[in-house]
Amino acid sequence: MDLKFRHGELDGYRFADPGLLQQALTHRSAGAPHNERLEFLGDSIVNLTVAEVLFQRWPKADEGALTRARAELVREASLATIARRLELGARLTLGPGEMKSGGHRRDSILADALEAVVAAIYLDAGFEGCRAAVLPWFEESLAALPVGKPGKDAKTRLQEWLQGRQRALPSYELVSESGDDHAKLFTVSCTIADPTLTAEGEGSSRRNAEQAAALGVLEKLDLSK
């Protein structure tokens, strides 16, 4: 076993099965066994864990506020921030191509690895053990949210601003799509007619690129905060 996984420890959690941590931090570009199946499981566990803590801590928040808060906490950039805090990038096992292109710094790879690690802890310790280990990773982000009134995403804010002034809704157009299947980069443009403004945004999914483009328009309208 690779020395960096030999002790199977991450942020104070020691794995009974260090092999789970090794698999969680192995990108598919490095060959099998890799972390994609763990990522699938971890995505659901992260969503459940975050939904549960929001439900408990915000007893007066409605479904819409809870949904927006969860979306903010589990979005790719938020998970990648946690992964960097845990220094997962330095522990990733990547194929030569991903190593050369700086895959250990890419949000999509870091976020996927974090979800895989969450699944690995779940398989190693069960849900309660996983919850106890993982929840502290989200405390900083939870504390930063306005209680019961989390900020809306950029597309929603832009749409509501336009609707409030009875103006046409924005249009989104895919400008380009590049990269391998496991490391796609999408560029999308967002255009509004009144005033006439266009901005482009990039992301690892079309949805993320649309959000970035909408934020670009909000910035041009001086409404980004």
Instruction: List binding-site positions for Mg(2+).
Output: 39, 112, 115
Give the sign of the dihedral formed by CA 204, CA 52, CA 49, CA 147.
Answer: positive
Which value, to the nearest 10 degrees, does the dihedral of the CA atoms of residues 212, 218, 222, 225 take? -70
Residue 17: active-site member: no
Q: How far apart are the first and last CA of the chain?
A: 48
Query: CA–CA separation, 26 vs 150, rounded Å?
Result: 34
Check: CB of residue 58 under 8 Å from CB of residue 147.
yes
- Per the residue annotation, which of 43, 72, 98, 107 is the catalytic one? 43
- The string of DSSP letters for 194-220 reads TTEEEEEEEESSHHHHHHHHHHHHHHH
Nearest to 34 by CA among 101, 120, 105: 120
Sequence-distant (6+) residues with CB within 8 A of 76 are 107, 108, 111, 203, 204, 205, 208
Residue 115: active-site member: yes
- Per the residue annotation, which of 72, 115, 124, 153 is the catalytic one? 115
Q: Which residues are catalytic?
A: 43, 115
